[in-house]
Amino acid sequence: MTENPQCRDCLYYEYNEYTACYECTVSLDEDEYERYCSRKYSSCPYYHSGDEYKTVRKQN
């Protein structure tokens, strides 16, 4: 997957010590991966905010 600007804030964007780089760790099966690669998205459909304080701010 190519890096989207919002990737750095995503929960699934993690550092891989073996390859010494950041990568997307979202788990996709073959069909989901093929659909993802064949479509043009303006934003990642698998993006999940890594900001754990977002929920707390909504409660206050």
Q: For residues 35 and 9, give the distance between their C-alpha atoms in angstroms, rounded to a whole number.
A: 23
Q: For residues 10 and 56, give the distance between their C-alpha atoms in angstroms, rounded to a whole number.
A: 18
Q: What is the pTM of this model?
A: 0.63
Dihedral (CA of 24, 29, 34, 39) sign: negative
Chunk the chain into consecutive blocks of 10 residues (it has 60) and report each block's average pLDDT, rounded to whole numbers: 72 92 90 85 80 60
Q: For residues 11 and 56, give the distance between their C-alpha atoms in angstroms, rounded to a whole number.
A: 17
- For the chain, give every domain's residue range: 5-59
At residue 19, the pLDDT reads 92
Q: Percentage of the chain surpassing pLDDT 70? A: 75
